[in-house]
Each structure stands twice: as structure tokens, then as C-alpha cells.
Structure 1
Amino acid sequence: MLETNKDASVAERITHCNGSSFGNWCWLRPPSGRATNELREVNNIISSITLSDRQDSWKYSLDPTGIFTTKSLTFLINSLKLGSNALSLSIPRNKLIPQKVYIFIWLAIQYKIPVRFEIDKRGIDLDSTLCPLCESALETTEHILCLCPKAALIWKLVLDWWAQDASLISNLGDAIINKQPFALSNFGSSIWQATKWVTCYIIWKHRNQKVFSKKTWSPGSILSEIQTQSYCWISKRSRKKKIIEWHQWLINPSFFVVDSPQRVGIG
């Protein structure tokens, strides 16, 4: 057992003699057995070490700066683990929706929500890998949130509500990345993105209810939930900017949030 001193520097632990370096050990109990071989290997490693006169410090070799941050480590792990499969390793936080929705979206773009395809890839046996909503295609993240006929119908209702073309949401990137082909103010753009994220979240919620509770809901009732929940979250988190009235929200949000002199802007 080695007696340690937390205030001792690396230089104080190494003795230099005749051009070689040796460990300056302070043993409470001399090493024995396999530990002697390990000590010999350590001595061989440090024998060629040359220390500078600078103060001791740790260097993080996995980053060019030599400085460790959890962000750089997370980026490295995701790059190695996900490769080009992820839409993005990070997305800006939308303050109009609660943290739980943002976390869900963050997991979705990295294909980490527990769809049957991802569970099967991890070697877990399932009765079926088919989508529990349509039961006709493999359940992947993109399928359950966008491509499934039942999810696509929900998106059509949402886009009709916003008076937009049904082809506007055709893949997971369209559903998550904050872009729109129609003119919106900055605040309106955030509202549009928040609505899309809430739609993804509620589609997943009803998917889970179908899987675990055998509950089914009509597309109209799911749209009503999306309208109600998104308005509630957005209005509570946008106190510095006036949100449109509930009856306007139900008619067509894009009519009231477009950045146009002919229409009422809230941005």
C-alpha cells in the first residue's frame, strides 16, 4: 500500500539519477506477488520521463485543446456511436416547450427512443418489430413519428390547421429542424417549431398508450390535444410577448404569426 500525499506534485514522486528516473515511493507495506511485476512495469514506463519546470497539470488527450469538458466528451461519444445516423448532435433549446418535450426531441434525433427497431438491434427478443399503429412496417423513429399512415394523418390535420401543404412534413428532419417555407417572425418561427415538437411528443404518447394500455384515439381528438397542450405551454412561457387569443389559435395560428403588414404580427 502506497502512502499518498495529496499536496505532493508529480516531480516530488520521481527521483532522477544518472539520466534515469525512478519512482520515489513511500510504502506503508512493501508490494508482493503480482504487485511487484506491476511496479516493475511502472518503473520501466517512468524511467524515460522528463519533466519540465512548469507546474504539474492534467492534459486531456482526446481534445486538441488539451482541456477536458463534458461537452467535448459527449460529442466524441456520440460521433463514434452514432456516426452519420443522427440528424444533429445538438439542437437549440426552444423555451416555449417544457424540458421533458425537449429531452424527447433530443433523444429522437439521435434515434434513442425505444422503438422496436432499436430494441431489436440490442438483442432483445420481441413478439414483433412492426409498428404498433399501422402493423405493416418496421417501427423506426422516423416511421412512428412521421411516415406511419396514422402519424401522417395527424400531421395532415396539423398542417391543415396551420393552412400549410401536407407535403411540408415528409421526414424526421422536417418535423424537428426549425425551418418553414412561409414567412414568420422570429417569435412565430419558435411557435411553429414548438407546435411540431409537441406533435411528435403527443404522437409518441399515444403510441405508448396503444402498446401498454391498448387505448386508441381518433385523429380529431389527438389534434385537439395538440392544439390545447401546445397553446397552454406556449402561452405560459411567452409572457414577455403577447400570445394570440385562444379562438385565433384554433382558427389558424399562421394567419396571426406571419411577418406581414397585411396580417396581425405577434413577433
Structure 2
Amino acid sequence: MAARILIIDDDTDQAAQMEALLRNAGHAVCRARDLTGALQAAREQAPDLVVCDPVPVAGLAVPLRASAALSGVPLLAAPGPGSASTALLAAGFDGYIAKPIEPDSFVAEIEAFLPPAPTLLVVDDDRFMLDLLADMLASTGWRILLAQSGDEALARLAGNDVQVMLSDQCMPGMSGDELAAHVRRQYPHIWRIILSAQKEEGAIGAALASGAADQYLAKPWNAAALRAALHSAFRQQRLRSGSGPAV
């Protein structure tokens, strides 16, 4: 999947080489030169993986591990020649990529540490709307599951690890707020979003107030705004659960 990768390195040339290789492979990259910049980038960009030179800041792994924005995110060291791999692992890194990097193998080495793609469940009784949303979200790299009813959604959840659910409110049988309440009881780690053309103060307002739903989004939706809202939802879900795939 296309991932967001944070590079922490005060060597501009090395960081630029890594960034170019990763971008050419389809990944999004942000860079920082020190711990302060890295923590800010983590909060703003919610990276899926961090690659850092451990030399500029002693004990870099400890504050990175303590950041809520990096909970569950793989942390790779990119040390210079002569660094002891056992010491890096003992310091809190999940692995290491030796420098100078090998351009032909660097991307594959990084991708081996990426977590599985996060999963979004989209629920709507309108098949055309489901297909439209699936096409619009195909480029995100997320795993997209579709369901046309509340019952079908619960069946999907029973067999899949889902992080975010986006459900239409007005559906025959089980409404969006009723589905959200079921999901909260059975899968409280899932971030639950209700999508509706009108904010029904009775049903949706009660679902938000009770915590059955985490978020409400209005129809008609804007593609860019919806993708941004879902990126934020995955980030919020990861912060709430303290683990799981990023976006």
C-alpha cells in the first residue's frame, strides 16, 4: 500500500535520497531534522512508519515511542557505518537500515516493516452510492469493504479486522444510528461515522451524545473533504486503540 513515511535525519543529502526513492515508489514522505520537528510532523501527518538517524539526538527512540501520534508505528534506525544493531534494538527501534543505503533494495527493506493496510467498512443500501464511494477511495491504499445493510455490515465485521465504519443513516431495516450502537457494543475500537443528507437531531444527535457514533458527516459530500475526514478518523481510531494500522 501507499504509506506515509517520516524521515528524521540532519543529513540533507541522505534524507533527500531516501525521500526520492520512496516517492518514486508511490509513498508520501515528510522530513524532520530533529526531535522537535519530528514530533510536530508525527502529530500533523500521522505517519505509518518512521526512519531516523539515531545519532543527532541521544535516546531518540524513547520520546518517539512516548508520542501518542506514533503509538504502534514501526520505528527504524538508519545509522551510519559501525553502529551495533543489538544496541539499536535494545534502545527501542524495531529494526534498522544501514547507511549508506542501497538504492536497489532500500524501498523493499522499508516496505517489509509497513503494517497491513487499514480497513474501512462502507455501508449504504444504495449500490450505486457504494460503488461511487469505493471508486473515490480506491487510491487511498485502504482495504475497502462494502455492505448494503446493517445485517450485512455486522457479518463483514465478524470476519474482518476493521478500523473505521462509514454508514448511511437512512437504510431499510437497521438505520445507521442503530448499526453504530450495535458496533459500539461488539467492536468498541472501531471509529463509527454516520453519513446523512440531513442531520436528524433525534436519531443522529442521540447517537453522538451517547457515544454510539463518533462522528457525523453531511451529504452531499466533497471527495477531498471526505478523504481528509476519513484520514483523520483512522488517526483518531489509532490513538483511541493504542495500536493497529495507520494511514
TM-score, scaled to structure 2:
0.22
Q: Which has the higher contact order (CA 8 A, sep 6+)?
A: 2
Q: Please, what TM-score do these two structures have when normalized by structure 1?
A: 0.21
More strand by share: 2
**Richer in helix (by share):** 1
Structure having the higher Rg? 1
